[in-house]
Amino acid sequence: DEEDEEQQQHFLYNPPPAKHDNNEWSTNKEDNGGAEQIPAALSAFGACCCCITAAFVLAGGILVAYGSYQNNRQEKEDGDRNQLIGSILLVVSASTCLLGWCSCCFSCVSTAVVDVAAGAPLPSSGDQKRIKLKFRRLNDEFQGAQDALNHVHFDVAGDMKEIQTAKKKEHKNKEQEEKQQKKLLEQHIQTDLRRGTLSVSDIRRKYRPIAFYIKFDGDLLVSTLDLLTKQVSTIVNVGKANIDQVIVVLSSPGGSVSSYGLASSQLVRIRKAGIKLVICVDTVAASGGYMMASVGDVVCAAPFAMIGSIGVVTQIPNFHRFLDKNSIDAFLFTAGKYKRTVD
């Protein structure tokens, strides 16, 4: 039983590469019945009305001016006709202008209504804009690169009979290996189901764990802290303890102590959730960046990456001799003995 359990833990199913039509999923994807298309349609209709208005105004103005010119040349019949057509075009242009203006107004109102219905905060509410996360399958990108390379690669031996035979043999062997892998996977899953110690979602994730990839570029005030918090909260809720892992590619020169302390505490949440945390330093992890990197279970650094230390530096001018020279006394009133610990 112990040997079977060990084999269960080390077995990972490696499925054949598959192409996905949509390899992107958003955390804020909602089904509102196509309501988001209404503002776009109104905006497009308003733009068309504006274009028609401009065309009718130009054509009507030209016809009215040309009719006046014909009347001056004693061509009264043609001049009156052109002036009439031009006047009609100007009246129609006024109508299309009114329609376009109303469409733009309704588009703005419908956009606000759709946002409120979807749960987005109003612009006047003072709340921050919702952060939208997207999941992408990075495996598909590499598979696409391999397919593109095979497409453009000049195969000088592809027409040889021996190559075709060997290729068919490799394809057949590969299919057999995939069948064996799938059969072995079914055996492991049946064993887990008989034991009843894992849920269906845990079994699905056990043999195909997920590595969450986060790119963190820090600045002095950690302007991407809200995004990091949303990413960590999502991973903590959807990740599986002792199965999945998180890879954070970190690059930061450090900055605000409180901001980087909060950013480090966000990474601590991943470890407390039982998810393995791997920190990769590409270029620099100094001060607060190094504090974030030290949280990881595994820390990897590029050969020429700059790794700094955790510390605080401050500069305080000393006015003691200046005050004594000018007979100035300073009085300090505190509410407790620990309010003033530095002389």
CA distance 98 to 333: 70
- The token duo for 140 is 């598909």
Mark whether 287 is an active-site residue.
yes
Annotation marks residue 339 as catalytic:
yes
Residues in the chain: 343
DSSP string, 35-59: TTHHHHHHHHHHHHHHHHHHHHHHH
Q: Provide φ and ψ at 24, rounded to 5°.
A: -135, 135
Residue 64's contacts (CB-CB under 8 Å, 6 or more residues apart) are 82, 83, 86, 87, 90
Neighbouring residues of 280: CB distance < 8 A, sequence distance ≥ 6: 247, 248, 249, 250, 300, 301
Any idea what DSSP says for residue 125? G
> What is the DSSP-derived secondary structure letter of residue 237?
H
Q: Which of 19, 183, 337, 339 is catalytic?
A: 339
Catalytic residue among 93, 110, 252, 287: 287
How many CB atoms lie under 10 A from the CB of residue 82? 21
> What is the Cα–Cα distance from 253 to 192, expressed in whole angstroms?
47
Report how far residue 327's alpha carbon sits from residue 61's, in angstroms, rounded to the nearest whole number. 86
> Which of 146, 144, 132 has its CA nearest to residue 21?
144
Could you list the active site residues? 287, 339
